[in-house]
Amino acid sequence: MIPDSVVRFSYPTIIIFGPGATRQLPQALAEADVRKPLLVTDSGLVKTDAYAAVVAALKDGKVAHAVYAGVHPNPIEADVNEAAEAYRREGCDGVIGLGGGSALDVAKLVPVRVTHEGPLARYEAQHGGWEHIHGPLPPVVALPTTAGTGSEIGRSSVVTSPEEHRKIIVFSPLMMPKRVVADPVLTVGLPPKLTAATGMDALTHCIEALVCPAFHPMSDAMAAGGIELIAQYLERAVRDGKDLEARGYMMIAAMMGALAFQKDLGATHALAHPLSTEFDLHHGLANAICLLPVMRYNKQVAAAKYAIVARCFGVNTFNLSESDAADAAIAAVGRLCRAVGIPRNLAEVGVKESDLAQLAPKAFKDSCHLTNPRPCREADLLNLYREALAQ
């Protein structure tokens, strides 16, 4: 069971977790030495009970604040620039990120934008851009309204760069939020389809981190724990949005996935990023559709790790070979996708065979496939798109 009262723990960000944690937002801001925050969110969220609860907490705490609500579902650099302009114009000294991964990613980039010059591509992680990010940065307090990206405890943001015409990853330990207010109540209004897509995003993070060949046993344990929670609670959260136990554990699983993928990710994310930029496909949904082809592709080199995935789904692997256990893991992930209503293939979300030739080069330029357990050529990524299109 999730705790009856709000609890705090640090891993390493201080996390204020539990139903009703939103009421502690003024205290979290004070601890981060923020007196006038810029609340960064999206236009859809301002109409929700979650937004109303956050504004009420700020009002009760007598916290003056400004609002930027222009974040796109797949954020673009202009979102960051506009939010930074609002930050300066309103005389803010910190940021609140409220929403899913898109709003949180923009919120974490605002401190970089208001203290650093030049396009965000200059700070791209793939090219060592973190060396150009220097502190101190204005503090961020993150309030997730989804259980997917885990961006609330992450040190990076993903945004579409106009110069690069693709998604880039900006990374720095200085970008990590000072406080996370993780209130399962804020996720209650999330529709079933978005609950499913964001939950599958968290699962993809955990699975790709687990099989990433980098050495990080602690991240492996975190990834396995996240997979186990998602296997147990995602379908419940989709079926009943008011199930606070399921919602709460999915929030924990999303954070575990984000902590785990400090190891890095893999080919699923390399395939998913162009699908978001070219087709505006929800990132978690793109991951969910591409995950099974990539698992099948990786099986020959990652069967032992996929056997762990199978056990996390409750499969008894005692008398199974690693290969058979890996097949069981792939089947279990497929069953979960179907149970929560994920489209079976890319064709069902509007992607055509003629689109794949333009997607594969963009996926190959994405750094995520560089840490896939099985190396990928551009032709391999094209074949994976084909499999995702027709599976």
CATH code: domain of residue 61: 3.40.50.1970
* Residue 140, pLDDT above cutoff 70: yes
What local confidence, expressed as pLDDT, does residue 10 receive? Answer: 59
Percent of the chain with pLDDT over 70: 99
Which pair of tokens denotes residue 290? 């591409």
User: 167 forms bridges with which residues in the sheet?
Assistant: 160
**281 lies in some domain:** yes
**Does the structure show a pLDDT above 70 at 2?**
no
Query: Which stretch of 21-25, 31-35, 187-191, 325-329 has the lowest confidence by average pLDDT?
Result: 187-191
User: Looking at residues 226-242, what average pLDDT do you find?
Assistant: 97
CA distance 117 to 128: 16
Query: What was the pLDDT predicted at 125?
Result: 80
254 and 195 in contact (C-beta within 8 Å)?
no
Domain coverage including residue 152: 7-186
Question: Within a domain: residue 349?
Answer: yes
Residue that is last in its domain, among 137, 158, 186: 186
Q: What is the pLDDT of residue 386?
A: 97
Same domain, 103 and 195: no
Residue 311's pLDDT is what? 98
Three-class SS of residue 282? coil
Final residue before a domain boundary, out of 136, 162, 186? 186
Domain identity same for 339 and 262: yes
Same domain? For 38 and 158 the reply is yes
| 2 within a domain of the structure (yes/no) | no
Shared domain for 145 and 237, answered yes or no, is: no
Give yes or no: residues 290 and 165 share one domain: no
Same domain (yes/no): 276, 145: no
The C-alpha atoms of residue 181 and residue 14 are separated, in whole angstroms, by: 9
Tens of pLDDT, residues 273-291: 999 989 989 999 999 999 9
Are residue 249 and residue 164 in the same domain, yes or no? no
pLDDT tens-digit series, residues 167-214: 888 999 999 999 999 999 999 989 999 999 999 999 999 999 999 998
Confidence at residue 9, expressed as pLDDT on a 0 to 100 scale: 59
Q: How far apart (Å, rounded) are the C-alpha atoms in residues 236 and 336?
A: 11
Question: Looking at the DSSP assignment, which residues form a beta bridge with residue 144?
Answer: 99
* pLDDT the model gives residue 337: 98
Judge if 176 and 236 occupy the same domain.
no
Q: Which amino acid is at 227?
A: I
- Confidence class of residue 163 from pLDDT cuts 50, 70 and 90? confident
Query: Which CATH number does the domain housing residue 211 bear?
Result: 1.20.1090.10
The pTM of this model reads: 0.92
Do both 179 and 201 map to the same domain?
Answer: no
- What mean pLDDT value characterizes the chain? 94
6 — pLDDT class (breaks 50, 70, 90): confident
Residue 177 maps to a domain: yes
What was the pLDDT predicted at 133? Answer: 93
Least confident span in 41-50, 142-151, 158-167, 176-185? 158-167
Q: What is the C-alpha to C-alpha distance for residues 197 and 121, in angstroms, rounded to an integer? A: 28
Please indicate, yes or no, if residue 1 is contained in any of the structural domains.
no
Cβ atoms within 10 Å of 391's Cβ, excluding its own: 15
State how many domains the chain has.
Answer: 2
Residue 165 and residue 209 in one domain: no
Of 186, 221, 237, the residue that ends a domain is 186
